[in-house]
């Protein structure tokens, strides 16, 4: 696989089963390098495999979020047919019906759900200020024509969404027949999420932080509101986060995903609360695993009678579990194996899911009893497409005796007796995990002639809360750890040592390291603490925890959640854990990559490191991507993703390939 092959990747996602269980709607996303955009198409597949899957929408635009009407006769979906905004369409599934537009909106239409009677659709979307941005039918007003923004909350911008202080996300309903305008059922300067209809259609459940200190504590509650609006009723005790509401079939209970931003990291859990509120119950704590994957677009819990289905991160895999919503039994595995279950749905007795492996992108499957059937083969043709190299799992032992799970990908065309340059990849998060799904970067590195190493050191998800919380700050009151750059550094260095000892084709004199976000932090940290690596690439990194706390869209609570005291209360500890503190000890040639619109790790993080290294006369290159945010490597424009991969390969080729 080469960088240009990124344009040929096909993603199958968001399966939705018809009410009778016979048909599955799903989304196929492709990259158009010539137009430098993504195209999405809704497809349909017969659940029994009796007919080949077929496209349902034209595919000229970016269509997605297919949702079945309660009678199964129509599909609603979101389309992007203009440069800005989105449109909500309804189309009969059987031939002969006309496409009708139910709503046109100036912002992205997000969660989408039919009312039980099929007459209305609920959706969430940001509600912009027409006085500032112009009417929704017009293109956005030029920045120079806008009045100044008034900011009175800490949460006023968000990576990927931009300014949010004057664009709160609200919950709307609209007639499905296209004869009405969207009506807001929530209001105020709060962000809302979730669009869950009660079985009788009289009430909507949603989540939001609607209390006075929502921007400081980031607590999110569950609410219900009448389908025509009114004053929302809070169901939960403010403190944790409650998201992804999902009504039980009898309407008595609401399931949710629970988290706690006050003490990071902590595994998300699935729980329930009575529709009238009161004490909530967590159902999945016995798993000691994260039940809402950070980087996998986890959906809300799905009801199956009295049970709930949900995704779980486990040792480099993303599995599907079920649990009794009454709390009478422990969670049970439904879909396991060395793979990532990237999406799922259940209706009419049919369980559909999308899954990826290290050598195959996500495809559509159905599960009946103990039998699984693959319904699509759209993502990769092993005969016509690029060859994929399977990873090999191994473990390394850290200095304190801790075993660390790791993987190695051999360079394509490996020759016996030859040593190869080796790249250690460090994931972001840090409460995330590498695992058993197709990752284009590893395949590209292998094709370019590198041994590829990656691991899940302490701080990662997928191995329990104690593992994830091992890098909390040493001065926190609850579960103190080593801080960032402590045992996590020990773990990744142990992986390098084990790979050198175990694989005779690893060249110990030509080692490189790279990573993004927290992986960028670890890259910057490592080259400031060891000269083992001959080249490094630090991308969208956290380089100064102090300024990160000032400038990041989540910095006001994220770093404090790990370190305990704020950067105002203990600036010395923040400095101790910041890679820029150790620039005098960096001797490794360094490539710095950053996006200019990154609000998660603002570009000043890269600028600090670059300026310091240049002033010290060290070898450093700085590449800035205009118009991109924190997610460049995963969802940036197709051309920028290709260019980024080419830049990384060129840098390491200049520093590692020659010997």
Lowest mean pLDDT among 37-46, 292-301, 578-587, 598-607: 292-301
pLDDT: which is higher, 369 or 119: 119
> CA 583, CA 466: separation in Å to the nearest integer?
31
What distance in Å separates the CA atoms of residue 434 and residue 453, rounded to the nearest whole number? 11
DSSP state of 191: -
Sequence-ordered list of residues with C-beta below 8 angstroms from that of 241, at least 6 positions apart, any chain: 207, 218, 219, 220, 258, 259, 260, 261
Domains of the chain as residue ranges with CATH:
392-657 (3.40.50.1820)
Question: Which of the four pLDDT bands, split at 50, 70 and 90, describes residue 627?
Answer: very high
State the DSSP code for 181.
-
* Preceding omega of 254 cis (within 30 degrees of 0): no
Q: Do the Cβ atoms of 158 and 110 come closer than 8 Å?
A: no
**What pLDDT digit, counting tens, does each position of 423-472 carry?**
999 999 999 999 999 999 999 999 999 999 999 999 999 999 999 999 99
What is the model's pLDDT at position 600? Answer: 97
pLDDT band per the 50, 70, 90 thresholds, residue 295 = low
Tell me what pLDDT residue 60 has: 84
Nearest-angstrom CA–CA distance, 14 and 354: 8
* 56 three-class SS: coil
Enclosing H/E stretch for 39: strand 37-46
Q: Residue 322: which residues within 8 A CB-CB, separation 6 or more?
A: 304, 307, 308, 309, 310, 331, 332, 334
User: What confidence tens digit (pLDDT) does each residue in 631-648 have?
Assistant: 999 999 999 999 999 999
pLDDT tens digits along 539-570: 999 999 999 999 999 988 899 999 999 999 99
pLDDT at 417 over 80: yes
What angle, rounded to 10 degrees, do the helices at 487-502 and 518-527 form?
Answer: 70
**Residue in the block written with tokens 């009448």:** 226
Across 480-486, average pLDDT: 98
Query: 32-70 pLDDT, tens per residue?
Result: 999 999 999 999 999 999 999 999 998 788 999 999 999
Give the burial string for 419-444 (b: 16+ CB within 10 Å, else e).
Answer: bbbbbbbbbbbbbbbbbbbbbbbbbb
SS (H, E, C) 635-652: HCCHHHHHHHHHHHHHHH
Q: What is the mean pLDDT of residues 502-519?
A: 98
Q: How far is CA 66 from CA 72, 110, 204, 349, in A?
A: 12, 12, 20, 19
- Which pLDDT band holds residue 139 (cuts at 50, 70, 90)? low
The whole-number pLDDT of residue 387 equals 85
Could you tell me the sign of the dihedral formed by the alpha carbons of 480, 482, 487, 489, in that order?
positive
123, 107 contact by CB (below 8 A): no
pLDDT at 386 over 90: no
Give the H/E segment covering residue 67.
Answer: strand 62-68
pLDDT given for residue 137 in this prediction: 45
In contact, 45 and 69? CB cutoff 8 Å = no
Q: How far apart are CA 72 and CA 18, in angstroms?
A: 6
Secondary structure (DSSP) of 323-366:
EETTS-S--EEEE-SSSEEEEEEEETTEEEEEEEETTEEEEEEE
User: pLDDT grade, residue 207 (50/70/90)?
Assistant: very high
Tell whether the model's pLDDT for residue 379 goes beyond 90.
Answer: no
Q: Is the pLDDT at 490 greater than 80, yes or no? A: yes
**DSSP code per residue over 359-378:** TEEEEEEEEETTEEEE----
Instruction: Please name every residue paired with 455 in a beta bridge, in sequence order, or none if there are none.
Output: 406
Mean pLDDT lowest among 17-26, 135-144, 494-503: 135-144
pLDDT score of 2: 95
Average pLDDT, the chain: 95
Neighbours of 150 (CB within 10 A): 8
Residue 304, SS3 per DSSP = strand
Question: Please, which residues bridge with residue 405 across strands?
Answer: 395
- What is the pLDDT, as a whole number, of residue 132? 63
Q: What percent of the chain stands above pLDDT 70?
A: 97
The lowest-confidence range among 22-36, 244-258, 374-388 is 374-388
User: First CA to last CA across the chain, in angstroms?
Assistant: 24
pLDDT exceeds cutoff 90 at 481? yes
Q: Which of 80, 319, 594, 630 is catalytic?
A: 630
Q: Is 517 a catalytic residue?
A: yes
The values of phi and psi at residue 426, to 5°, are -120, 125
- Contact present, 63 and 27 (Cβ < 8 Å): yes
Contact between 39 and 28 (Cβ < 8 Å): no
For residue 472, report the phi and psi dihedrals to the nearest 5 degrees.
-65, 160
**In this predicted model, what pLDDT tens digit does every residue of 144-157 receive, in sequence order?**
888 899 999 999 99
- Eight-state DSSP code of residue 439: -
Task: Give me the residue label for tokens 């879909």.
Answer: 335
Nearest to 344 by CA among 46, 78, 14: 14
Would you state the pLDDT for residue 96? 67
Helix (H) or strand (E) holding 607: helix 604-615
Task: Give CA–CA dist 56/75, Å, rounded.
Answer: 10
Amino acid 659: pLDDT: 56
Of 311, 219, 305, 233, the closest CA to residue 273 belongs to: 233
Q: What was the pLDDT predicted at 128?
A: 87
Per DSSP, the three-state class of 520 is: helix
Separation CA 55–CA 59 (nearest Å): 8
Using alpha carbons, select from 613, 547, 610 the residue that is nearest to residue 578.
Answer: 547
How far is the C-alpha of 135 from the C-alpha of 546, rounded, in Å? 40
pLDDT band at 129 (very low <50, low <70, confident <90, very high): confident
409/439 Cα distance (integer angstroms): 11
**CA dist., res. 507 & res. 486, Å (int):** 26
Q: Which residue shows structure tokens 């990259």?
A: 31
Tokens of 378: 């759209």
Write down the pLDDT at residue 140. Answer: 54
What does the pLDDT read at residue 492?
Answer: 98
Looking at residues 356-375, what average pLDDT do you find? 94
What distance in Å separates the CA atoms of residue 615 and residue 393, rounded to the nearest whole number? Answer: 42
For residue 6, what pLDDT band results from cuts at 50, 70 and 90? very high
- b/e for 160-194, b at 16 or more Cβ within 10 A? ebeebbbbbbbbbbbbbeeeeebeebbeeebbbbb
Query: Strand (E) positions, 97-240?
Result: 100-105, 109-114, 120-126, 157-158, 162-163, 169-175, 183-184, 192-197, 203-208, 221-226, 233-234
Give the three-state DSSP class for 490: helix
pLDDT the model gives residue 143: 80
From the candidates 517, 552, 595, 633, give the one annotated as an active-site residue: 517
Q: Rounded to whole angstroms, what are the CA distances from 253 to 116, 245, 305, 335? A: 17, 10, 12, 25
């Amino acid at each position: 696989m080469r960088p240009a092959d990124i344009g040929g990747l096909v993603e199958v996602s968001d399966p939705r089963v018809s009410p009778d269980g016979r048909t599955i709607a799903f989304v196929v996303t492709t990259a158009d390098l010539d137009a430098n955009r993504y195209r999405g198409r809704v497809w349909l597949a017969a659940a029994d495999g009796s007919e080949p899957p077929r496209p349902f929408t034209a595919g000229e635009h970016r269509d997605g979020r297919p949702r079945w009407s309660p009678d199964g006769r129509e599909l609603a979906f979101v389309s992007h047919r203009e440069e800005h905004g989105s449109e909500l369409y309804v189309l009969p599934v059987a031939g002969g019906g006309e496409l009708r537009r139910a709503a046109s909106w100036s912002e992205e239409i997000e969660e989408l759900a039919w009312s039980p009677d099929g007459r209305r659709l609920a959706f969430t979307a940001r509600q912009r200020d027409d006085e500032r941005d112009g009417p929704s039918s017009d293109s956005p007003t030029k920045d120079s024509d806008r009045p100044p923004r008034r900011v009175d909350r800490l949460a006023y911008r968000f990576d990927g969404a931009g300014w949010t202080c004057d664009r709160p996300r609200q919950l709307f309903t609209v007639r499905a027949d296209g004869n009405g305008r969207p009506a807001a059922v929530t209001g105020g300067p709060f962000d809302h999420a979730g669009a869950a209809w009660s079985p009788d259609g009289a009430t909507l459940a949603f989540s939001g932080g609607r209390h006075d200190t929502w921007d400081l504590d980031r607590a999110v509650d569950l609410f219900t509101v009448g389908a025509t609006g009114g004053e929302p009723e809070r169901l939960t005790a403010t403190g944790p986060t409650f998201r992804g509401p999902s009504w039980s079939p009898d309407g008595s209970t609401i399931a949710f995903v629970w988290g706690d931003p006050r003490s990071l990291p902590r595994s998300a859990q699935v729980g329930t609360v009575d529709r009238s509120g009161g004490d909530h119950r967590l159902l999945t704590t016995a798993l000691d695993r994260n039940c809402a994957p950070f980087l996998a677009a986890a959906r809300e819990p799905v009801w199956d009678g009295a049970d709930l289905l949900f995704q779980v991160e486990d040792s480099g895999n993303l599995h599907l579990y079920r649990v009794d919503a009454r709390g009478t039994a422990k969670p049970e595995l439904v879909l396991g194996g060395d793979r990532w279950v990237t999406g799922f749905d259940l209706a009419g007795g049919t369980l559909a899911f999308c899954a990826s492996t290290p050598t195959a992108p996500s495809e559509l499957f159905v599960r009946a009893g103990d039998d699984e059937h693959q319904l699509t083969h759209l993502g990769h043709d092993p005969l016509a497409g690029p060859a994929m190299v399977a990873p090999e799992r191994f473990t390394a032992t850290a200095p304190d005796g801790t075993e660390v799970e790791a993987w190695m990908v051999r360079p394509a065309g490996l020759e016996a007796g030859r040593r190869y340059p080796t790249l250690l990849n460090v994931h972001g998060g840090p409460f995330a995990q590498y695992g058993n799904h197709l990752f284009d970067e590893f395949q590209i590195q292998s094709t370019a002639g590198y041994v590829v190493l990656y691991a899940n050191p302490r701080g990662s998800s997928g191995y329990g809360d104690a593992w994830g919380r091992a890098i909390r700050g040493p001065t926190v009151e609850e579960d103190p750890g080593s801080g960032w750059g402590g045992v996590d550094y020990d773990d990744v260095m142990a992986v390098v040592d084990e790979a050198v000892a175990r694989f005779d084709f690893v060249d110990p004199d030509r080692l490189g390291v790279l990573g993004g976000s927290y992986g960028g932090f670890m890259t910057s940290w490592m080259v400031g603490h060891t000269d083992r690596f001959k080249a490094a690439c630090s991308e969208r990194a956290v380089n100064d925890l102090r300024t990160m706390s000032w400038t990041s869209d989540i910095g006001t609570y994220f770093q404090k959640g790990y370190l305990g005291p704020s950067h105002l209360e203990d600036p010395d500890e923040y400095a101790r854990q910041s890679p820029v503190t150790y620039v005098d000890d960096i001797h490794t040639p360094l490539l710095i990559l950053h996006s200019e619109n990154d609000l998660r790790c603002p570009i000043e993080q890269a600028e600090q490191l670059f300026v310091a290294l240049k002033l010290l006369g060290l070898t450093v290159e700085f590449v800035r991507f205009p118009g991109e945010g924190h997610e460049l490597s995963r969802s940036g424009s197709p051309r920028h993703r290709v260019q980024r991969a080419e830049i990384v390969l060129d840098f390491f080729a200049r520093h590692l390939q020659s010997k």
